[in-house]
Amino acid sequence: MERPDPPIIRRIVSGIQPSGKLHLGNYMGAVRNWIELQDRHDCFFFIADWHALSTNYERTDRLRNHVREMLLDWLSLGLDPGRCTLFQQSHVLEHAELYLLLGMMTPVAWLLRNPTYKDQMVQIENRDLAMYGFLGYPVLMTADIVLYRATHVPVGQDQVPHLELAREIVRRFHALYGEVFPEPLPLLTETPKLPGLDGRKMSKSYDNCIFVSDPADVVWEKLRTMKTDERRKRRNDPGNPEDCPVFSLHNVFTPLPVQKDIDRDCRTAAIGCIDCKKILAAGIEELLSPARERRKEIENRPGLLSEVLENGHSRAAREAELTIEKVREAMKIS
């Protein structure tokens, strides 16, 4: 039996569901890490549009737009199609074939006990998720990963159960048909919890986001009115940065020595909240202003997004075909 190639450079695969514009939490949680990985490894990053259907099967009209918005955000932030493979899941039909084949040997009990599945069933109340596709979500995710013979998968903590399941499915496949894939390992992304404008977790469903594509004046207006420590009613009232969501953002976007000054000056009311927020705005602009420049360049080149996806698709499809050929052979259905 042929063994998988030894991973010298890691083969990295990860995806995000296209839910529209990226916010700062999405950036910190995934894309920032991807940008770092693209120089050191062979990376495949894709827009998981089929996965988006698992919870949004009723509203498919926005999907196409969301895909383009997300790709534009990716490129503007610095994902570079010259250094990694960017593509759209639904363009590579082998995902579907492998999903089907893996589905034949994945015990339903494994899927039912998946904690993320159970959580989401409870949390998402406004949609009926008792669907076959939703239950099979991790099987499709496994197909996404092993189709490119990934060795490592950068994910946040919430996706670790899915990856564990992927590894179990891989082991079961190997026991039944022989070895074809590497067993993919999670590459845990350190995800600082990013509060939104109201102090709750930054999330589209709370309408409390700063978007990567927000113009500078919009960012400032959001920050200006952002919640702070309630103790600071007047300029002279001292506060506690630990109770202030603005300070949690400083933790991510402001250099450490400046953070220390703010921490001290907030407690003695030596700094006012508006000045404090101006420093934060400057830190956020360091990320967003070059992204805005790149976005302008991209928008001036019509056809570029499609071109990026086409090129990415060619490279992805090549790898996918190679793998699926091995799978068919192993399962004796070629």
Give contact residues for ligand TRP (rule: CB under 6 A).
13-17, 48, 51, 141, 144-145, 153, 155, 159
Q: What is the closest distance, in whole angstroms, from the C-beta atom of residue 49 to ligand TRP in the complex?
A: 10
Q: Nearest 5°: phi and psi at 43?
A: -110, 140
With CB cut-offs between 5 and 8 Å by kind, which of ligand SF4, ligand TRP, none does residue 144 bind?
ligand TRP
Mind spelling out the 3-state secondary structure of the chain? CCCCCCCCCCEEEEEECCCCCCEHHHHHHHHHHHHHHCCCCEEEEEECHHHHHHHHCCCCCCHHHHHHHHHHHHHHHCCCCCCCEEEEHHHCCHHHHHHHHHHHCCCHHHHHCCHHHHHHHHHCCCCCCCCHHHHCHHHHHHHHHHCCCCCEEEECHHHHHHHHHHHHHHHHHHHHHCCCCCCCEEEECCCCCCECCCCCECCHHHCCCCECCCCHHHHHHHHHCCCCCCCCCCCCCCCCHHHCHHHHHHHHHCCHHHHHHHHHHHHCCCCCHHHHHHHHHHHHHHHHHHHHHHHHHHHCCCCHHHHHHHHHHHHHHHHHHHHHHHHHHHCCCC
Among 241, 249, 309, 330, binds ligand SF4 (CB under 6 A): 241
Taking CB under 6 A as the rule, which mask of x and - marks residues 245-264 in contact with ligand SF4? -xx--------------x--
Binding flag, residue 327, ligand SF4 (CB under 6 A): no
Closest CB to ligand TRP among 124 and 218? 124
Binding flag, residue 228, ligand SF4 (CB under 6 A): yes
Among 28, 194, 273, 327, binds ligand SF4 (CB under 6 A): 273
Among 162, 167, 232, 295, binds ligand SF4 (CB under 6 A): 232
Q: What is the closest distance, in whole angstroms, from the C-beta atom of residue 285 to ligand SF4 in the complex?
A: 17
Size of the site for ligand SF4 (CB under 6 A): 14
**Using CB under 6 A, which of the segments 7-15, 120-128, 167-175, 271-279 binds ligand SF4?**
271-279
**Using CB under 6 A, which of the segments 25-33, 59-67, 165-173, 265-273 binds ligand SF4?**
265-273
Which two tokens mark 20?
A: 């529209």
Among 43, 129, 153, 244, binds ligand SF4 (CB under 6 A): 244
Q: What is the closest distance, in whole angstroms, from the C-beta atom of residue 284 to ligand TRP in the complex?
A: 24
With CB cut-offs between 5 and 8 Å by kind, which of ligand TRP, ligand SF4, none does residue 228 bind?
ligand SF4
Where does this chain bind ligand SF4 (CB under 6 A)? 228-229, 232, 239, 241, 244, 246-247, 262, 266, 271, 273, 276-277
